[in-house]
Chain A
């Protein structure tokens, strides 16, 4: 394939549309309708429990951190608070953006807005970028959320464990959004009627960070920034660690999530922080299944999936060498063997759906 053009306005994106790749129907494992309805059923209980636990822990750790500040004895509590602020916010942003975490819509929306602020994402643009990520997962030039672009820039991946690349990208963009609404690339996936909201959200974010910095200057201390802002950096490592595993080292430009996504068994703490997104093949194949039902979905379709990685460490042992090989050969990817019970990987582009233009039909 050669050099990839990840620009949403570039040649690869145009080629993906022209070839029919973007209109293709993705592979789905067979799940009986009644089972799927049960899996998709919504409930407020699990997410309320988890949100109360998360907020309680954040208040506790930040409170102890503030009490012990500026002693180094406060450091462990900041590290714990930071992971909840700078990593758990990623999964809350994600699940509430899908609208599946809670049954009650306003609960999803409230947590989504707060988590978006914490993870430094404009809630009005990222809702749409994530929709594109699900429609066109790892299609080069179409998916705006490709975490590991090829050839990988390993130094940038490492720096992002401390949120450095994300934060550097965030502030110019949120300032631009506050002044003039969505950027040219964002306008390719955010509908026109949402552009005003993009600007309003950006103004709120900028004002909040401005007030926090002002308070820090007035106090002559970075303490306010330890609570708001900096944990997006010192607590980012967990969501970067788990986020890289979602698709890192796997295929791009395919229409079978078993080829481009990874399911990893994780410890209970990571699963709480990550809200079960370690079941990532399952999530991409059936995005309307709430996080708390993903383990059941995994059991229902596991015979049709590549074997999951048994731990975070094992998954990194698969992914990291692949990323390093991609530095020299960007076309390399890990293609995992399917069990004998699985259907073959989907290599064809389409199944017929009446009313949808077929690829090549106009040629």
Chain B
């Protein structure tokens, strides 16, 4: 399972996310209100809309198109029209860098 250097800690504001593309896949990396980092698949499971333009509210990410919501810590779908959970990926911090483990 390779750990990939994805971004700097300071690239992501608290309670926000960024888009990260790697090896033909797209991801979303989050910084929670507590300052913890998380990573999920980048596209909403409802209709392939990228979550990077959505709003982070606490531990929820809201799809910018239809307001499907997910808990980005677990990937759980929390509001329709999102019904399928979001895939999540382990994250670790080394120094100033955020690493994502890709399966």
Contacts and interface: CB of A to CB of B under 8 A. Distances in A.
A135 B55 contact: no
A286 B67 contact: no
Interface stretch (B2-10, B29-37, B57-65, B91-99): B57-65
A228 interface: no
A99 B79 contact: yes
B65 A127 contact: no
A355 B26 contact: yes
A26 B55 CA distance: 19
A135 B47 contact: yes
Q: For chain B, which range describes its interface: under 10, 10 to 19, 20 to 34, or 35 or more residues?
A: 20 to 34
B16 A127 contact: no
Interface of A: 23, 28, 33, 36-37, 40-42, 98-100, 105, 127-128, 131, 134-135, 191, 193-194, 286-288, 353-356
Contacts of A128: 81
Given A40-B55, A42-B57, A131-B81, A356 B66 contact: no
A105 B42 CA distance: 24
Contacts of B43: 353, 355-356
B83 A191 contact: yes
A37 B64 CA distance: 11
Contacts of A42: 57
Contacts of B53: 28, 36
A36 B54 CA distance: 9
B66 A287 contact: yes
A355 B81 contact: no
